[in-house]
Every structure is written in structure tokens, then in C-alpha cells.
Structure 1
């Protein structure tokens, strides 16, 4: 009898220990995952019953919670919704969340581990729980200038302070109204979400950091030139054959320069001239001489192939692998299968502007508790050092020449030296070009690095170039920064 009791006791103890371990794992290690699970209806209702913290730009609310007279108690409201939709994202009853609303949901809802004492205090005192405020790095004047400059165009603008990584403007157009998604009616939210998803203009795509990646075209030449100079194998005076056409190796395909003839009208072209005038053929030959491993290494150093959290996750840009010589040459001027986000292109310019140091880009300034204490504050962080300071100085002078005496002339600002590069990326024989500008200003004391992309040829199909459409947009945004 004692033997059977011992067996039952051991089995009971084992089950108790298993239950104890399981509960401990759930309560300690899995709590954040369970809280974020979209199927957790209890968390959903709790998030609406609490006063969700505001999202702030320059101290002003761009997203706030207002009292509601139903069981949810609060309604999420967005001010200047289309202007900031790529930043705030949305917070919905049954379609999840996006943007800052998603990235900082735990702080905004007051459930972050850093806010445990506030949660405990609310429980003891019986006060309604309140979320923290998230203050962003966005400059409202620069954001508005970028949004206005992109009026009527599909594309994106990303402007960064190169010395800190702070994102001053992040615009994706067309935008959308997240208020349509914050209603307390399930049916109306689903209808609004479906209409946005099926909209051929794709307003929910955050073109700055995600969605369909772009061919960079000639703005990728900035990275190729950086790799060439930083390798020590080339200088701005290095010369390359400059025929009007070049047949790719082991291929019947022929590449041309943008204007269809020799670039600059000479039989050879220096690296500096090739960047200033955006010559495709010299850059194709340069890519072949550098080799795909060298180019891939520099692309990775600038951030290609990596997760970038701003804090929203940016889709990694990519430089292709396993290239034959023809494909490698096409990558030299940003074609074949090179794909990028505007954020990535802005980061390349920011690193050059900052003397070769690439700062971690961020939208976060600080997180502020309801009692106005600082819960979390962003600090500048060097993400990588892709090129040397001397390479950055050399490239800066070359990019200044591109604006003052080259094919990026429409980015020029009176009295200010601007460094920049345009791009006109091909998307197929009958598809409109993608138009680009990237650069920074002032060249001798950079306050802003920028990337502008305009889809669909700016409404002109294959009849427009980056200097016509993207460069003037960039100029307006850079002027907004410099005139602050």
C-alpha cells in the first residue's frame, strides 16, 4: 500500500512541478509575446479602455486618444492624417496596427516593462491606466515641405540629419487617412481597410522603407564610386574607355549612356567626369574591374542586406550575387537586380556627409511618461564606418561638381554648396522610369542628407529624368531645413 501511495505522490509532485514550470514560463518569458498576439481579445479591449499615449512632433500631438461614450472608452484620432500616415501608421480594432503605433505599442498602451511601476500605481490607486507619449525626431516644417513638394506624385522623401541619424522627414505618397481605420465599428474598419488594400495607388505601402523595392539607377553610382576610391585602386582621375555604345560580354545586349553618345564627347572619361555627367558605360567597366565581391562588401557596409529598425522595420535593400560579367556591369549603374529603399539611399549620402560614419537612423526622440518624466531617450549611435574620412571628402567634392556643373543642376541652392546625384532607373522596355535624387547640404557643414524617389516617370513615362523631377523636390526640402 505504501508503495502505491509513493507512486501516486511522485506522479502528483511531477505534475505539480510541470504545471509550476509551465505557468512560470508563461508569466515571465512569454508574457510579451502573448500580449502582442492579435488573437488576445482581452489585450485588445484593455488597450482601448486605457488612454493611449499621444504621438508628438515638436511637442504637438499628431495622434491622440479622445474620450468615447461606448465600451471602448477612447477613440484614436489622427491630426493631419495624410501628412504623417507613413510615420504614425494606424491602430485598429481588428486589423492590427502599423508604423509608430505598432513599433511602440507597449509604451503607448502603458504596458511596457519599463512602465511596471506606473501600472502598479494605477492598480493600487484605482486610477485609469495611461500610456506614455512618444516624441519623434520629425521636423514639422521639413515634413510639410516634403509632402507639398511631392504633391500629385507617387514616391517618397527621406531626410536625415547626417550627424545624428535623426529622421527629419519621412513621406510616402499617396498617403491615407488612418482615422478611417480607428473607428469602433468592425464593419466600417474592414470596409475602409479593404478599400485601401485594393486601391491601385497602394496608399498603405510605406514607400520610404518597405513595399516594392526600387531599381536605384544612377544614384547607385555614388556607392560604386565610393567603393572604387576607398579601395585605393582608383582616384577621381582614373580613366575609362568611353565609347557611344558597349556590347556586354557573352551577350547581344548593348548599353548606352543616357544621352546616347559618348559621355562628355571624349574617347575616355575620368571617374570624376563619369559621376558628374552620370556616364553608364564607364561605370559598367568600373564595376567589372572592382568585381562583385568588392561591390557586395561595400553595399553591405552601407546597410544592404540588413534589417534596419527606425524603429519600424525597413525591408533590406539588396545587391545581387552569383553574377556573370554582363550582369555585374549592369549593376555598376544600378540596374539588373539591385533593389533599394529610399531610406537606404539616404543612408549612403548621410554616411558621406558625416565623414564616412553611418549613424543609425531613427524616428525616436524620447518617450515621456504621464508624469512627464523621460522613460527612454534616443542617443546618436554609429551604425557602421563604410568608408574613410578621406574618401568621404573626395566624394563630396565630386558630388558638388555634379550639382554645380553636372546633371544634378536643378538641386542647386543660391549661396549654398549642394552635393548630389540624380538617377533615372529603367523598369522595362515599355514601363515609365523611376526618378531619383540623393545628396546633402551644405556640402561643407551638412545639416541634411536626402533621398527622393518619384514613380511612373513623374507622369511623363520615359520622357523625364531625375534632374527634371526629383532634384527640384529635393531642393525644396533642403531649403526648408536650411531656413529653419
Structure 2
């Protein structure tokens, strides 16, 4: 009898042990697999059981949760401004999120450790869990002006505007765009079908070109080359004379670099400010070769290139390119070759010059408040780098003002406001027309906004080096006027 009981007991213990092993295996090893399994509807419905916090900017509601009458989906996400803020808010789909909806997800859904006190109070009072509200730095007037002006070009492109003194992002527009509501419904089939359609579109509407795409910066990069030249010798300034041949032979090649259309740049020797006004290629290419790769690379890093940046969405890395030969360096010095920048990085360059040489860390989230309106977190204004001395910044500012007043960017002029800027036309390698660039800040004597705009293939059928001034500068002007209430 005792033997029989012993065998039964051992069998029970063995089965219990196997059961515990299986439970632990499911919870510890396969938990994520089971949680994300499409057949697991619990997680699916739980996503809609909590009232996510609002995303707002300048008093406007950009995203909010609305209660439904469907018992399966207590709340659904709505985007009152639709396409206008798509790349800022992102979407909240049955299985994923993007942009702010993703980066601030734990705050928005109420699960963040920063909301522990709020959850404890709600548990004690019996109130349901609610997510925190995320207020952004976006200026709605600037965002609308950027969207309308860029859309009016009929081209793909991007614009990002910053407060140069704080780093706050005032506008972030990427075209083409999409309607986040189409990816935030509760029907998985419809959402996934629409996502696949958008992902396959040639224009890449899901791509946030302001931070996820890099481009050759073209002649806008000449301000960085000029910065390195001025920093190399403090006695240099806007009136310093530089060589400006009609064509510049590139070392160890049978190629010579022309100015646009083969035109002369003045008399062959011009002032630095004249070279920037006319966007001459040869003087800046020659300056770049004389300074050397290390000096230019160091200057780009001082403007923040190569540093990991999140706004809070991750930003693609801008890069001056690897060291090659003198000919390649000449081309990189005028924003070509392997030189690649995000629009955000180019806006940071403009902002650094505007802010006496100091580049502030860019950010999108202004304030986090809980469901009762109490502040959970608030943005700090952090200096990222010191790109140039205040003296060099003043010289660059003077020259960029002259570009708008006397050079290629006259279409960016705002009545009653001193605007600084630099145009750019970036050659592409895929046989497409050049991209049109413009970077700017204003007012020059007390900057409130700095920006960068790119219009992809925007230099088509214009026929001038000033195509950045022809196509991109008017878009920038609209945003400057919106921020400055002009």
C-alpha cells in the first residue's frame, strides 16, 4: 500500500513539476511571442480599453481618444487636424504606433513610471486609468503655413523650423503625407491593407523627410565652409578677398569645376560675402581644399553632425563623408559628393549661427501633464554644441543677410524684417532635376525662428543657380511671416 501511494505521490509531483516548468516557459520565454500573436485578441482589445492622453500644440488638439458605444473598443483614436500633423503625431494602429504616439506611448497610455503616483491615487479613488497629455512645441500657424506653401510647390519635400534660442521645433512638415486616421481604425484588415498601400507608394508618404531622409545639401553647405574659414583665422571677415576663378582644376583629374553655367565670379578675386551672395562654387571649393578634410569635418561636428539626436523620434545621421582625395573634398565643400544632411540638421546650422554660435538640442515635447492637469515633466533648453565663436557667428549673420538683400535669396525678403539666408541647388545622382534648398533665420538681429526647406527636384525648368531662391525661399518666407505675425 505504501509503495502504491509513494508511486502516486511521485507521479503527482512529476506532473506538478512539468506544469510549473510549462507555466514558467510560457511566461518567461514565450510571453512576447504569445502577446504579439495575431490570434491573441486580449492584447488587441486592451489597447482600446484605456483613454490615451491628448497630443496638443498651441491650444490645438492633434490627437485624442473618443469613447465609443462598441463594448469591444471602449476608446478609439481621432486626429482632428488629419494630414497636417501626420508625421508629428504619427498613428495608433491595432498593433503598432509611430512618431509621438510611439515615442511617448507609455505616457500616453498611462503605464509610465512617471505616472505611478497618479495611478495609485486613481486606484484608491476607484477612477479608471487615463493616459498623460503631451503638449508639443509646434506653432500651429507656422505648421499650416509650411504645409500650404510646400504643397503649393506640387513637389515632394520637407520643412523644419526651430526656435534658435531654445531648440523647440516650431514646424515639421513632410510631403507627401497621409491621414493617420486611416491607420488608427479598429479593423485590422482595413488598417493593414491601407498601410501596405501607403508603404508601396512611390512618393513614400510614411517617410518623415525632415528627420529620416538625408540629402546632398548643395550650396547651403557653403555657410559651413565659410564658418571653418573664418574660425581658422579670426582676422578674416566678410570683406576678406578670396580667389574665385571661372573654373577650378580638380587635383589629379582632368576635370575642372565651373561656377553655375560656366559664369565668372566677379573679376576672379572677390570678397567672401560676394562669393556667398552669388553662390560661387570655385572659391568655396578652393577654400575647402586649402583648409583640409580634418578642419571641415571638425566644423561639421561642431554643428552637431554625427551626434545621436532624438526629438524624441530618432533622427537619421547627417554625415560630411569619408576622407577621399582633394577633388572629392572640393565637391564636399560645396555640398556635393558624399555630403548628406537631414533638413533638421540644416535647420540646426542656421539656428546655431542665429544663436551666437550655440546650437541648442532640438526637441518636440514641451510639457507632460497628467489627466488632472498636474505637470509631470517639462522641457529643458539644453545646449548641444558651440559651433563657432560669437564673433564668427556675427560675420556669418552679416553675410547671410546680404544673400537675401543683394544675392540669390531676394524672394525671401519680409517687409520690415531683416532676414538672413542661403540658397542651395543640390545635384542628384539618379538623373532627376536638382533639389532646391533654403536655410534661413529672422529677424537677423533678434532671431525668433530658424528653418530649412528642401523641395525635391525643385530646380527643374528654372535654369539658374538661384533655384533654391526661386523655389524654396518663398516657402520659407511664408513660415517666417507666420511666426513673426507679418
Normalising by structure 1, we get a TM-score of: 0.89
In 1, are the aligned partners of 2:163 and 2:448 still within 8 Å (CA)?
Answer: yes
Establish whether residue 65 from structure 1 lines up as the match of residue 57 from structure 2.
no
Establish whether residue 140 from structure 1 lines up as the match of residue 140 from structure 2.
yes
In 2, are the aligned partners of 1:432 and 1:461 still within 8 Å (CA)?
Answer: no
Q: In structure 2, what is the Cα distance between the partners aligned to 1:322 and 1:422? A: 26
Q: In structure 2, what is the Cα distance between the partners aligned to 1:85 and 1:459? A: 28
- Equivalence for 2:423: 422
Q: C-alpha displacement at 1:46, in angstroms?
A: 3.0
Cα distance change, pair 138–429 in 1 and its aligned pair in 2 (3 A): closer
1:161 paired residue among 149, 155, 163 = 163
In 1, are the aligned partners of 2:352 and 2:360 still within 8 Å (CA)?
Answer: yes
- Equivalence for 1:119: 119
Cα distance change, pair 194–258 in 1 and its aligned pair in 2 (3 A): same
- Equivalence for 1:450: 451
- Equivalence for 1:373: 374
- Equivalence for 1:90: 91
- Equivalence for 1:312: 313
In 1, are the aligned partners of 2:250 and 2:257 still within 8 Å (CA)?
Answer: yes
- Equivalence for 1:472: 474
In 1, are the aligned partners of 2:158 and 2:173 still within 8 Å (CA)?
Answer: yes
Spell out the pairing of 1:11-410 with structure 2 (5 A cutoff): 45-68=45-68, 69-94=70-95, 96-151=96-151, 152-211=154-213, 213-232=214-233, 234-264=236-266, 266-410=267-411
Q: In structure 1, what is the Cα distance between the partners aligned to 2:261 and 2:463? A: 13
Q: Answer with 1 or 2: which has the greater Rg.
A: 2
- Equivalence for 1:482: 484
Per-residue Cα deviation, 1:383-426 (whole angstroms, up to 9, x for no partner): 11111111111110011111101111111111211110000000
Per-residue Cα deviation, 1:183-205 (whole angstroms, up to 9, x for no partner): 11110011110010011111001
Q: C-alpha displacement at 1:44, in angstroms?
A: 5.2
Q: In structure 2, what is the Cα distance between the partners aligned to 1:294 and 1:417? A: 31
Cα distance change, pair 46–444 in 1 and its aligned pair in 2 (3 A): same
Per-residue Cα deviation, 1:93-128 (whole angstroms, up to 9, x for no partner): 12x211110110010000111001222333344432
Q: C-alpha displacement at 1:45, in angstroms?
A: 3.9
In 1, are the aligned partners of 2:273 and 2:399 still within 8 Å (CA)?
Answer: yes
Q: In structure 2, what is the Cα distance between the partners aligned to 1:428 and 1:192? A: 31
Q: C-alpha displacement at 1:323, in angstroms?
A: 1.7
In 1, are the aligned partners of 2:425 and 2:459 still within 8 Å (CA)?
Answer: no
Q: C-alpha displacement at 1:43, in angstroms?
A: 5.4
* Structure 1 residue ranges, 4+ long, deviating more than 6 angstroms after superposition: 461-464
Of residues 270-279 and 470-479 in structure 1, the stretch that sits farther from structure 2 once superposed is 270-279
Of residues 274-283 and 251-260 in structure 1, the stretch that sits farther from structure 2 once superposed is 251-260
Runs of 5+ consecutive residues of structure 1 not aligned to the other structure: 1-18
Runs of 5+ consecutive residues of structure 2 not aligned to the other structure: 1-19
SS of equivalent residue, structure 1 residue 384? strand
Q: C-alpha displacement at 1:255, in angstroms?
A: 1.4
In 2, are the aligned partners of 1:436 and 1:470 still within 8 Å (CA)?
Answer: yes
In 1, are the aligned partners of 2:323 and 2:329 still within 8 Å (CA)?
Answer: no
SS of equivalent residue, structure 1 residue 117? helix
Question: How many matched pairs?
Answer: 457
Q: In structure 2, what is the Cα distance between the partners aligned to 1:181 and 1:77? A: 11
- Equivalence for 1:11: none
Q: In structure 1, what is the Cα distance between the partners aligned to 2:212 and 2:173? A: 12
Q: C-alpha displacement at 1:72, in angstroms?
A: 2.5
- Equivalence for 1:439: 440
In 1, are the aligned partners of 2:322 and 2:338 still within 8 Å (CA)?
Answer: no
SS of equivalent residue, structure 1 residue 355? coil
